[in-house]
Amino acid sequence: MEFSMAPMEGITNYIYRNAFGECYSGLNRYYSPFIAVHEGARMKRRDLKDILPENNRHPVIPQILTNNSDDCIKACRILWEMGFPEVNINMGCPSPTVTVKGRGSALLRDLQKLDAFLSDVCTSSDNIGLKISVKSRIGWEDPAEFEGILAVFAKYPLKELILHPRVTREGYGGTPHLEIFCKNLLSKCKFPVAYNGNIYQLSDYIKADEIMDFAGNCVDHVMLGRGLITRPYLAENLAKWDSCKSKMQDDASKSSQKDEKMRLRSFYETILEESKKEFGGEAQVLSHMKELVNYWAMGFTDGASYLKEMRKTKRLIELDILFKQLLVNEEVIIDDNNLKII
Ligand SMILES: Cc1cc2nc3c(=O)[nH]c(=O)nc-3n(C[C@H](O)[C@H](O)[C@H](O)COP(=O)(O)O)c2cc1C
């Protein structure tokens, strides 16, 4: 199985990805948070900076967000000229600020438009040898929509379809519709299908594999989002488990407390220092670090009460002190079914 870091806007920027690669392993690839493509294929300088090869120590697959095929084609060409062999298209974002413009998962609402969009984009990318992958949901309102959506995708030579099996109205809550993977629908695809959703710990991965039969469904890539942010050692544990299966079940999930705390501290320090250089102003750095500690704290016993305090902080130094207290006083929840992910 291959594992990748999910794109997460506001979190998995190049600083995060570089620091992650220094402190942790287990990932085969990284995806950039979405780059919004504006009229005329304009992309923000800040978004392009995030994917520039000189800023990335690990190869990144850029993800773009647009519903206009002309802009998409132009943006793909720009990215191809920058040296990217693959571009991922966001068809999964459920945020109303995105879908109101017909972007993200709103692309799944009108199958004729989706078909025309993919036809234009895939023809053009084929001409230049650029690979197109798609990150998608299974529908807008009802999982039954997926059959029709998949029939459209299946017409095109996608590099990969990364599937988050929820519909738009479900946001990121509730349980993913794993049955989609069991319905033999995916056998219609000529391209590989990757799974994404609610893998927070080893037991989730094992359970997901039992239900969805990754091998039987030719799933050889699992994309990790909130689980990996909360427990950055997650991909390592999953990869260890994969290589040794049941023999390693216990060992794979039990890294030492001390090692994990030291690694998280070094991960935190690296991101903090680099973010100070990137963002400049204390308020911006503080808000970014709060976003991260929101996740990390939930990977600790009683992380919730530290989180309450950390959210109230107005200075970086206060956050720093609280985070270090958390590292000293609390235990890392190595594998716990009660883990709560926000
Ligand atoms: C804060 C946040 C930001 C996200 N940003 C993106 C994004 O830029 N592009 C994208 O395709 N998905 C984005 N997602 C969705 C994740 O990539 C992933 O599909 C989702 O979190 C479900 O996977 P998980 O259950 O492993 O977290 C975001 C999710 C969250 C919570």
Report pLDDT digits (tens) over 265-324. Answer: 999 999 999 999 999 899 999 999 999 999 999 999 999 999 999 999 999 999 999 999
Query: Which residues sit opposite 134 in a β-bridge?
Result: 89, 161
Report pLDDT digits (tens) over 234-253. Answer: 999 999 988 876 555 444 44
Q: Atom 14 (ligand 1): residue with closest C-alpha?
A: 8
| Contacting residues for 341 by C-beta, under 8 A, at least 6 apart | 200, 226, 227, 230, 295, 298
Report pLDDT digits (tens) over 6-26. Answer: 999 999 999 999 999 999 999
Higher pLDDT, 160 or 188: 160
Q: Which atom of ligand 1 is nearest to the CA of 229?
A: 27
Rounded Cα distance, 315 and 285, in Å: 10
With a 6 Å cutoff on the Cβ, whether 118 touches ligand 1 is no
Rounded Cα distance, 35 and 14, in Å: 13
At 180, phi and psi to the nearest 5? Answer: -60, -35
Q: What is the pLDDT at residue 338?
A: 45
With a 6 Å cutoff on the Cβ, whether 231 touches ligand 1 is no
Tell how far the Cα of 172 is from the centroid of ligand 1, in angstroms. Answer: 8
Task: Please choose from 172, 201, 207 the residue to mutate so as to test ligand 1's pocket, defined by most ligand atoms within 8 A of CB.
Answer: 172
At 217, phi and psi to the nearest 5? Answer: -95, 10
Rounded Cα distance, 121 and 101, in Å: 19
Going by the DSSP 8-state scheme, the letter that residue 332 receives in this structure is B
Q: What's the alpha-carbon Rg for the chain, to the nearest Å?
A: 20
Q: Find the helix or strand (DSSP H, E) in which 28 lies.
A: none
Rounded Cα distance, 112 and 125, in Å: 20
Rounded Cα distance, 198 and 65, in Å: 23
Closest CA to 291 of 273, 268, 263: 268
Q: Which atom of ligand 1 is nearest to the CA of 224?
A: 26
54 pLDDT more than 50? yes
143 pLDDT more than 50? yes
With a 6 Å cutoff on the Cβ, whether 7 touches ligand 1 is yes
CA dihedral 50, 198, 288, 56 (to 10 degrees): -20
Instruction: Please classify residue 57 by burial: count the beta carbons closer than 10 Å to its beta carbon, then call 0-12 exposed, 13-18 middle and 19+ buried.
Output: middle
48-57, 61-70, 121-130, 206-215: least confidently modelled range: 206-215
Q: Which atom of ligand 1 is nearest to the CA of 32?
A: 8
With a 6 Å cutoff on the Cβ, whether 104 touches ligand 1 is no
181 pLDDT more than 90? no
Rounded Cα distance, 100 and 121, in Å: 22
What are the structure tokens assigned to 140, written together? 């807008």
At 168, phi and psi to the nearest 5? Answer: -55, -45
Instruction: Quickly list DSSP for 178-190.
Output: GGGGGTTGGGG-S
Q: What is the pLDDT at residue 246?
A: 55
Report pLDDT digits (tens) over 200-229. Answer: 999 999 999 999 888 888 899 999 999 999
155-164, 185-194, 197-206, 238-247: least confidently modelled range: 238-247
Mean pLDDT, residues 82-86: 97
- Asked if 71 contacts 46 with a C-beta cutoff of 8 angstroms, the reply is no
Do strands 221-224 and 193-196 pair parallel, antiparallel, or not at all (unpaired)? Answer: parallel
With a 6 Å cutoff on the Cβ, whether 166 touches ligand 1 is no
Mean pLDDT of the chain: 93
Rounded Cα distance, 223 and 16, in Å: 16
- Asked if 64 contacts 44 with a C-beta cutoff of 8 angstroms, the reply is no
Tell how far the Cα of 247 is from the centroid of ligand 1, in angstroms. Answer: 32
The angle at the Cα of 28, spanning 303 to 240, to the nearest 5 degrees, equals: 65
Tell how far the Cα of 66 is from the centroid of ligand 1, in angstroms. Answer: 17
Instruction: Quickly list DSSP for 143-163.
Output: GGGHHHHHHHHTTS--SEEEE
